[in-house]
Structure 1
Amino acid sequence: MAELFLEIVELESGEIVLREMESDDVPVMKVSFSDDMKKRLQDQHLDVAKVMLSAGIHMAAEMQNKTAEAEALQKVEDEKPPVLH
């Protein structure tokens, strides 16, 4: 499987996106904050967005691993010879 390199970028629109590195393709994830929330975060919104996006990546990876494990277990079950009594 090819490695996927991602970057977090703040777009001109103010949205903070996670996308493939140096790509203008559709972002994988987006985070945006209202102007009021940016003020409340004391201009630390980029740091908050990084944590949010990072948590999303980790959760998606965990879900993918669980799915792969379940599929592997099902394959083992499917390959067992039938039991005749």
Structure 2
Amino acid sequence: MAELFLEIVELESGEVVLREMESDDVPVMRVSFSDDMKKRLQDQHLDVAKVMLSAGIHMAAEIQNKAAEAQELKSAEDEKPPVLH
């Protein structure tokens, strides 16, 4: 499986996105804050966005790992010879 390198970027629109490194393709995830929220966060919105995107990455990886484990268990059960007695 090819490695996927991701970057967190703030777009001109103010939206913070997670995308493939040095790519203009559609972002994997997006986070946006209203101007009021940016003020409330005292211009720390990028740090908050990084935490939110990181949590999303970890959750997605966990879901994929659980699906892969379930598939492995199913494959192992399918390979067992049937009991005839």
Q: What band does the TM-score fall into relative to the shorter chain?
A: over 0.9
How far off is 1:82 after superposition? 1.1
CA RMSD of aligned residues (A): 0.5
Residue in structure 1 matched with residue 20 of structure 2 by the alignment? 20
> Matched residues in 1 for 2:50 and 2:42: separation?
15
Could you say what secondary structure the match of 1:19 adopts?
strand
Summarize deviations over 1:11-30 as a string: whole Å, max 9, x none: 00110000000000000000
Structure 2: how far apart are the matches of 1:84 and 1:37?
A: 66
Q: Which stretches of structure 1, 4 residues or longer, exceed 2 Å deviation after superposition?
A: none
* Residue 7 (structure 1) shift: 0.2
Structure-1 residue corresponding to 2:30: 30
> Structure 1 unaligned runs (5+)?
none
The TM-score normalised by the length of structure 1 is 0.98
Number of aligned pairs? Answer: 85
User: Which secondary structure does the structure 2 equivalent of 1:9 belong to?
Assistant: strand
1:74 aligns with 2:74: yes
Residues 22-66 of structure 1 show CA distances to partners (whole Å, capped at 9, x for unaligned) of: 000000000000001000000000000000000000010011111
* TM value normalised by structure 2: 0.98
Q: 1:49 corresponds to which residue?
A: 49
Tell me the CA shift for residue 72 of structure 1.
0.2
Offset at residue 83 of structure 1 (A): 1.3
